[in-house]
A and B are shown apart, each in its own frame.
Chain A
């Protein structure tokens, strides 16, 4: 520490660069700048309902649910390189499970059971689909086409099985989430409180995702994506890894779907179809593949933009979405987080030089 240069400071805050990442010290407290940024962002989000209108908070609830959905897609696409064009089938499966269970059965705290099942059932379906296809040596582009077909079959199945799903009318009056212990207490979560429930769920899914991708399991996945032959010659079974991450991802997608159903109270077949499946890919791509936080930012930013500017782009939103997809793929495949990391490198360089 003897040759330590004096670092730039703003008031009591001191900036420095250690191992290519920016560190911030306030007095004796030292932390990574990215962690600090995330923490500050979270504080802002916690304070949001006190400041903004109910309409805006309502938009954020759905945006965060889509953020969870986007994380699930990023786990398979950003890390394992598996491109799924039908992830909405699993989101919708979770939503329909939640909807059917809570409207058909009137048991106390049924919504909580719904959340659990909405994770487990899509996870098992995902495991079976991926396990069968990968173990038969289906190539990655065929897998993508099959997932697209899956989304279409799922939304058609929702139309055909109208006894259970309500057909094209969908399911209405899905009760909000609540905790009930008969004779002791009944507590129904209000729309405003649901914001915090979803925020907690988002943070939890993000942290779990972070833990997974940083674990040996996650690094093996990235290795498989980069060079599958090499990883298998090292004694790993790529099929097993890809299947597990796909099942985990479809489970999380289903969980997000259940959160959506309990919030909106209404679900219909398009929820399973390829439009939502495409949208989630755009969110992940715009935010930045393989970053976990990028997809959350992408989902939130684009969902808010879609709803707040929908008056401006009433008929051209999907057109813009399509062109955006092309432009991002062509010009900026690393997304928003890619832009951030370039800025971060510039700042780090500046800090090192001073």
Chain B
């Protein structure tokens, strides 16, 4: 019983942390720029395909792919910001449409390049580790640690580094920040690129424990949005409790009911939670 409970909890934890990573990217883009990025799921898909194509077709190690995926997706994000998003800052609702168009196009390009069939990424850490209570797959343990390190790193970046503080200054008052000589356009481009990079990183990191296919991004897109909305957009860290509820509860329910039903229950729950508490579940004191 304890064995099963531990396994279930660790599964839920790894799913929640991986979602936190992806949702954090979305929260950065929405929080800093006000842009609803519907291409986020496609960015994740591209990241996952990079983690598949490099070891399978190019003979590059998975670990190198894990480093390259966020860089490549970040560059794609910077390019998209430059060509499309930048021209829509005064029409934010239209960015929803434009990013959805980009999402459709990216997913179709993936389909054209690699076909519609599901791919599986061979596990780079195939063993299991004996935790005393239960024996747990090594890669999932790595994933939990990896996500925690990245999350803490990103939060530290915004809290204490120079660029992080500048970025937050631009969010709080873009005009005042721009009077102080902070380049708003550049900060927006960094935000979009780093948000995209986090989605790409998340996609690559989960690739070995999921099936990689062109439409995998949609579920993550919605789950990320729900995690962000549920947590509240007042603080970046709110994505963590948001993700724990969205991905964690769906993951645990999957043990008892069908995944589709579990996901539907979570979606309905989040919508109800939004109605009851539109500002998000984290206390106001957490807000920056």
B275 near A: Cβ within 8 Å? yes
Are B104's CB and A322's CB within 8 A? yes
Segment of A11-19, A113-121, A313-321, A335-343 engaged in the interface with chain B: A313-321
Distance of A48 Cα from B156 Cα, bound (Å): 67
Are B102's CB and A326's CB within 8 A? yes
Given known pairs A136-B275, A141-B36, A319-B112, the reply for A325 and B93 (CB within 8 Å) is: no
A325's nearest neighbour on chain B, judged by CB, is B101
B116 CB → nearest A CB, Å? 10
Distance of A85 Cα from B93 Cα, bound (Å): 12
Query: Which of B97, B260, B268 is A329 in contact with, Cβ under 8 Å?
Result: B97
Query: Which of A156, A159, A318, A329 is B98 in contact with, Cβ under 8 Å?
Result: A329
A157 near B: Cβ within 8 Å? yes
B259's nearest neighbour on chain A, judged by CB, is A156
A146 near B: Cβ within 8 Å? yes
Distance of A223 Cα from B257 Cα, bound (Å): 47
B64 CB → nearest A CB, Å? 29
B278 near A: Cβ within 8 Å? yes
Query: What residues on B are CB-neighbors of A40 within 8 Å?
Result: none
A83 near B: Cβ within 8 Å? yes
Are B258's CB and A160's CB within 8 A? yes
B190 near A: Cβ within 8 Å? no
B135 near A: Cβ within 8 Å? no
Distance of A318 Cα from B261 Cα, bound (Å): 29
Query: What residues on A are CB-neighbors of B275 within 8 Å?
Result: 132-133, 136, 138
Are A329's CB and B108's CB within 8 A? no
Query: Which of A138, A319, A329 is B94 in contact with, Cβ under 8 Å?
Result: A329
Query: What residues on B are CB-neighbors of A226 within 8 Å?
Result: none
Q: Mark B252-276, 1 if CB is under 8 A from A, else 0.
A: 0000001011011001101100110
* 8 A Cβ contacts from A49-75 to B: none
Distance of A333 Cα from B90 Cα, bound (Å): 13
A200 CB → nearest B CB, Å? 32
Are B36's CB and A144's CB within 8 A? yes
Q: Mark B107-125, 1 if CB is under 8 A from A, else 0.
A: 1110110000000000000
Query: What residues on A are CB-neighbors of B103 within 8 Å?
Result: 322
B226's nearest neighbour on chain A, judged by CB, is A149
Are A319's CB and B274's CB within 8 A? no
Interface residues of chain A, those whose CB is within 8 Å of chain B, are 81, 83, 85, 132-133, 136-142, 144-146, 148-149, 152-153, 156-157, 159-160, 274, 278, 281, 285, 315-316, 318-319, 321-326, 329-330, 333
Interface residues of chain B, those whose CB is within 8 Å of chain A, are 36, 84, 87-88, 91-94, 96-98, 100-109, 111-112, 218, 222, 225-226, 229, 258, 260-261, 263-264, 267-268, 270-271, 274-275, 278
A-B contact pairs, 12 of them (CB 8 A): A145-B225, A149-B222, A159-B260, A278-B104, A316-B108, A318-B104, A318-B107, A319-B104, A319-B105, A329-B94, A330-B87, A330-B98
Give the 5 A-B residue pairs with the shortest CB-CB distance, closest first: A325-B101, A322-B104, A322-B105, A319-B108, A326-B101
